Amino acid sequence: MSVRMINEQARPITRRRHALLLAGGQSARMGSDKAMLALGGKPLLVVLAERLTALGFTYLIVAVGAGEREAIYDEALSGSSATARTIQAVDQFPGCGPLAGLHAGLAQAPDGYVFVIACDMPALSAGLLGRMLAEADRVEAESSSSGSGIQPDVIRVPDQPFHALYHTRIVPQLAQSLASGELRVMRLLNELPTSWVELEEGEQSAFDNLNTPEAFARFAAQWTNC
């Protein structure tokens, strides 16, 4: 079975929405920067960036981790269709893992919900994303019509921190957690008001993690550029 990052039923994004690609991990088990691994002749970073911008996200923020990666990623993205709409975010809390990337990226984003995906979980599910965006539209409309202003901070699948929507209002809470040394993403998530979206058949692959050369080789062998 081939792996497709986006299927033909992708729901068009009709409102201003933004995406955050977490690409600055240490890649210790992979042995090299996952974002720069070649997939179909392009770095994985570029493949994902082009996919996300093709879906209609207004801006793509790339959390680059350490500052020295900024120039590397900028060169990789140069000339791609995603370049004009890409913003890079350097960790303000260096060496603090994915929570630091989440903080850096959301801090750069315009107010609202941001779709967050990790570079090492690249099997994007357009169907799941569409349902998450529909839920964001629903809660925003409901909050506006009722005047309550109450909205969830996160829209996600149970037990999964990424391939999810995060609201930028949590940036101060992220900073507080990082400053205190609490770096566990799931612990923070358990404290945030959340709207749940259930998986449908065939969507579990969106959470396959490419941590090792073997895992990436399997993914690359099954991947189709469509």
| Distance from C-alpha of 222 to C-alpha of 187, rounded to nearest angstrom | 34
Q: Where are the alpha helices (DSSP H) in the chain?
A: 44-54, 69-77, 97-108, 126-146, 171-180, 185-189, 213-222
* Residue 89, marked binder: no
* Residue 120, marked binder: yes
219 Cα distance to chain centroid = 18
β-strand pairing of 164-167 with 154-156: antiparallel
DSSP string, 85-110: GEEEEE-SSTT-HHHHHHHHHHHHSP
95 Cα distance to chain centroid = 19
Q: Which residues contact 124 (CB under 8 A, 6 or more apart)?
A: 5, 6, 48, 51, 52, 117, 163, 206
Residue identified by tokens 């599910």 is 125
Q: Which of 167, 155, 160 is nearest to 131 (CA)?
A: 155
* Residue 22, marked binder: yes
Q: Which of 43, 48, 72 is nearest to 60 (CA)?
A: 48
* Residue 137, marked binder: no
* Residue 100, marked binder: no
Q: Which amino acids are annotated as binding site for GTP, given as ranges?
A: 22-24, 34, 120
Q: Which amino acids are annotated as binding site for Mg(2+), given as ranges?
A: 120
Q: Which amino acids are annotated as binding site, given as ranges?
A: 22-24, 34, 120
